Chain A
């Protein structure tokens, strides 16, 4: 059995959505970008080809709430950090029966029972005073952790990253 926290590939497959799409931006399919920046769990950023983020997930195979691990990470990688509010991070535990037969069997072998705990960070699009709608974008070109979150007007397809000034795609 794996050590506490690590999410094995079988459980990652069971957790992942099959058809994530970008809503209210480009309607193109989204990809789950797996990042190795946060141990021991599984950090995944769901973003469209234009860099618009729908949700960031961090999962650990553990009954413990991993919010305290994700919160400082996203704050450290978001410009400005004040965009990351504690109330926008939400916990969900997955027990097995809701993950399909293979994952259910896999999780049932572990005693005492251990759920997969996922924390979601979702920043909903918001309006600034002039009425412009802003939303969260991501750039993957930074350092070893290769991720930078920032906000830009939601009608831009690939806004430039404020750190590297390169367009997301």
Chain B
């Protein structure tokens, strides 16, 4: 049965939805899932290529796409898009992280991993 393998956040350090908010909450989610967290900085040439690939293939793609975008990679090779920042305002993105961390989806996932 497939298991969560890695959490990846596509971000930029200047983005208030990304740092510190999404890095802090992403660390929290990764700890709860007992998986590593990978940060891909779109301003870092080497990381940008992989960030673009993830977003174009699995995420919310646009010519100048939104950040942060959060992906869960599974042991069977699947990549699941979990969250994209809310362009309306930073507190709305914070609420999305809080809801994700207390979601039924996450509880079920953790129960499955420990059961």
For chain A, the count of residues having a C-beta within 8 Å of the partner chain is 32
- When distances are taken between beta carbons in the complex, the residues of chain B under 8 Å from A86 are 63
13 pairs from A and B in contact (CB 8 Å cutoff) = A17-B86, A18-B92, A20-B88, A46-B88, A87-B63, A91-B62, A92-B66, A92-B85, A93-B81, A96-B103, A97-B104, A98-B82, A101-B99
Is B64 engaged at the interface, CB distance under 8 Å to the other chain? yes
Q: How far is the CA of A46 from the CA of B86 in the complex (A)?
A: 13
A71 to chain B, nearest CB (A): 11
Measured CB to CB, the residues of A under 8 A from B are 16-21, 46, 54-55, 57, 67, 86-101, 104-105, 108, 120, 122
Given contacts A98-B100, A101-B103, contact A21 B62 (CB under 8 A): no
Given contacts A17-B92, A67-B62, A97-B82, contact A90 B87 (CB under 8 A): yes
- When distances are taken between beta carbons in the complex, the residues of chain A under 8 Å from B96 are 98-99
Given contacts A92-B66, A93-B60, A101-B104, contact A120 B87 (CB under 8 A): yes
